[in-house]
Structure 1
Amino acid sequence: MVQRQGLINAVTPPACQPRDFGRHQLSNTSPAMRRDILPSFQVEQKMEETVTLQAQPGAAYSAQAGLATRLSAMLRSMRVVDLSPTLERGIPNWPMHPPLVIDKARLSGRDGYYCQFLMISEHTGTHVDAPVHFHEHLLHMSIDTFPADILIAPAVLYDFSDKHMQPGDLVTLNMVKAYEAENGVQIGEGEIPLINFGWMQRFWRTDDASTWFVKNAPGIHEDAIIYFKDRGIRAIGCDTVACDMAVIDGVGQETTGHTTHWLPNGILIIEMLTNLHKLSLRSLFVATPLKIKEGSGSPIRPLAFCEE
């Protein structure tokens, strides 16, 4: 038995070396996307812990565990929030997208094992949009061309759920600045802002009225869209079906995040997040998209590791 006192006081992984985006390099690509670095992060442990490790035959244990062990212990000491809804029949989806189909294709009594068949859009449930989703000429920026860890980064919560926003309402730059001043936070380069409209909490459902959720939504004003781009974010997430695009009675409004400022600059858009109201102001966002050839996006199951 090996005992180790003070499991971890702080862990700061070294920043990843800059990658060559190759085909992704555009003259107007944001600094965060050009470098594609995983920002270092630091979490202080609140108290000393005693950890007992059971030695295994043939395994060499040292009093000082390796970085992977310490990082794993640190993450497990944090509060984890699942940010995706369950994939099930009746889940809301954009009206022009194919619906989610789940069929019990194999049954144990009949086939000797249990297995379901899925037919799913790239934009079902919690998902990420790649630049090619709105820009056919950016096929070289499909979801499979991005690094697998592109959506692993520190995140900042922007919670506007107390505004009780209505379909067509927009989060403005003044609202963003006021929130930052009130809460003492500001999104940084290479990070991911998470916008909570409170839409999932109020209107998510899977019955025959589920389409109201996607046919109505608030959005984000262009001045705030530009602000987030200028801050050098790598991605942005929201709890609505189209993030920056407001929707009124099924009619999408202006969406300059998709068309002008985010996607063309390699800033990915994460949509239909849930449980944002459970997050701390700052967290570590962890997700990875499926490696879909020439994919316009991908379903994801994101987690947030919260500091408190």
Structure 2
Amino acid sequence: MTSVVDLVAALGSGTILVVDLTNPLSSSTPTLRLPEPFANLVDFSLEQVSAYDTPGPFWKHHNIRTGEHIGTHIDAPVHWISGRDGHDVSQIPPARLVGPAAVMDFTAEASADPDFLLEVHHVEAWIAEHGELAPGTWLLYRTGWDKYAHDQEQFLNVDEKGSHTPGMTAACAEWLATTPISGFGVETVGIDAGNAGGLEPPFPAHFHLLGSDKYGVTSLQNLAQLPPTGALLVVAPLPIVGGTGSPTRVLALVDGQ
């Protein structure tokens, strides 16, 4: 078994690399836009308090203002009505925030159809090729959507019929909720498809996964740098007491070349 000492040595030598899967957070980071009558969160912003001047002669610091579900962020169970009695983000067990990454690549399908939905048979085929989902796995859904991560219009892909981004079927969400995964990660703005409000139940990934004590992570980057298996994921949200989610730094440890 590899010890922590071995891991530290491998990181120092470059035998293990750290890949940042986080979309940088700023006022221009693409965010969800809900239609009326639903309320939207505030976007991220910085307020300068001092900058090596009279209010703070030796330092620079800011106040921040942001919604919980802005940019790369985690969804805690309490975020959804089905998980209302579950953990808030500060109560998520730390061991559930670190685990093996299983990366499913459906970039070709999502490129051909932005409304592509992951089905149970897709996951079963991945498992047949790469092995079972181990307890504590973070299942990551690669669609190539991170290429739009700096363009609000393309990222949400909205027309008169709604938002068109890939996701999963209700049956797939219900099935994944029975697996031993810790969470489900996506490159899109949310763990559900853009048109998931029309599924039954509405937004089934939220409903089934969060209702079954699974977590969601959104707006991931650089999944192309991860192998299908063998990487270790570290999900690091702020432990906001009562929080339904938090902007999150997500890192992957992978074998170096």
Taking structure 2 as the reference length, the TM-score comes to 0.82
User: Which runs of structure 2 are paired with 1:202-221 in the superposition (5 Å)?
Assistant: 203-206=148-151, 209=153, 212=156, 215-221=163-169
Match in the other structure for 1:89:
27
Q: Is the 8 A contact 2:68 2:243 kept in 1?
A: yes
Structure-2 change in CA distance of 1:136 and 1:155 (3 Å): closer
Structure-2 change in CA distance of 1:165 and 1:237 (3 Å): farther
Q: Distance in 2 between matches of 1:136 and 1:232?
A: 18
Query: Does residue 234 in structure 1 map to residue 178 in structure 2?
Result: no
Instruction: Give 3-state SS (helix, strand or coil) of 1:285's partner.
Output: strand
Alignment-mate amino acid for residue 29 of structure 2: I
User: Which runs of structure 2 are paired with 1:55-94 in the superposition (5 Å)?
Assistant: 67-76=3-12, 77-94=15-32
How far apart are residue 126 of structure 1 and its match? 1.0
Q: Distance in 2 between matches of 1:211 and 1:170?
A: 17
Q: Distance in 2 between matches of 1:137 and 1:226?
A: 14
How far apart are residue 235 of structure 1 and its match? 1.0
Query: Does residue 287 in structure 1 map to residue 223 in structure 2?
Result: no
Instruction: Give 3-state SS (helix, strand or coil) of 1:288's partner.
Output: strand
Q: Which runs of 5+ in 2 are unaligned?
A: 34-39
Aligned-residue Cα RMSD (Å) equals 2.3
Match in the other structure for 1:58:
none
Instruction: Give 3-state SS (helix, strand or coil) of 2:220's partner.
Output: coil
Bigger radius of gyration among the two: 1
Deviation track 1:186-242 (CA, whole Å, cap 9, x = no partner) reads 4222211111111112x22257x4663584311111232233223211111111111
Instruction: Give 3-state SS (helix, strand or coil) of 1:175's partner.
Output: helix
> Which of 66, 69, 72 is residue 123 of structure 1 equivalent to?
69
Q: Distance in 2 between matches of 1:127 and 1:211?
A: 16
Q: Distance in 2 between matches of 1:265 and 1:232?
A: 10
> Which of 244, 251, 255 is residue 296 of structure 1 equivalent to?
244
Q: Is the 8 A contact 2:149 2:219 kept in 1?
A: no
> Which of 198, 208, 212 is residue 265 of structure 1 equivalent to?
212
How far apart are residue 174 of structure 1 and its match? 2.3
Q: Is the 8 A contact 1:192 1:236 kept in 2?
A: yes
Q: Is the 8 A contact 2:155 2:188 kept in 1?
A: no
Taking structure 1 as the reference length, the TM-score comes to 0.70
Query: Does residue 224 in structure 1 map to residue 147 in structure 2?
Result: no
Instruction: Give 3-state SS (helix, strand or coil) of 1:149's partner.
Output: helix
| Structure ranking higher on relative contact order (CA contacts 8 Å, 6+ apart) | 2
Structure-2 change in CA distance of 1:135 and 1:149 (3 Å): same
Query: Does residue 256 in structure 1 map to residue 204 in structure 2?
Result: yes
Instruction: Give 3-state SS (helix, strand or coil) of 1:107's partner.
Output: strand
Query: Does residue 155 in structure 1 map to residue 91 in structure 2?
Result: no
Count of residue pairs the alignment pairs up: 237
Alignment-mate amino acid for residue 24 of structure 2: T
Q: Is the 8 A contact 1:92 1:213 kept in 2?
A: no
Match in the other structure for 2:225:
278
Structure-2 change in CA distance of 1:211 and 1:110 (3 Å): farther
Structure-2 change in CA distance of 1:130 and 1:165 (3 Å): farther
Alignment-mate amino acid for residue 41 of structure 2: H
Q: Distance in 2 between matches of 1:220 and 1:136?
A: 18
Q: Which runs of 5+ in 1 are unaligned?
A: 1-9, 12-66
Runs of 4 or more off by more than 6 Å in structure 1?
none
Greater mean alpha carbon deviation, residues 98-107 or residues 297-306: 98-107
Instruction: Give 3-state SS (helix, strand or coil) of 1:141's partner.
Output: coil
> Which of 48, 69, 80 is residue 104 of structure 1 equivalent to?
48
Instruction: Give 3-state SS (helix, strand or coil) of 1:226's partner.
Output: helix
How far apart are residue 269 of structure 1 and its match? 1.0
The structure richer in strand per residue is 2
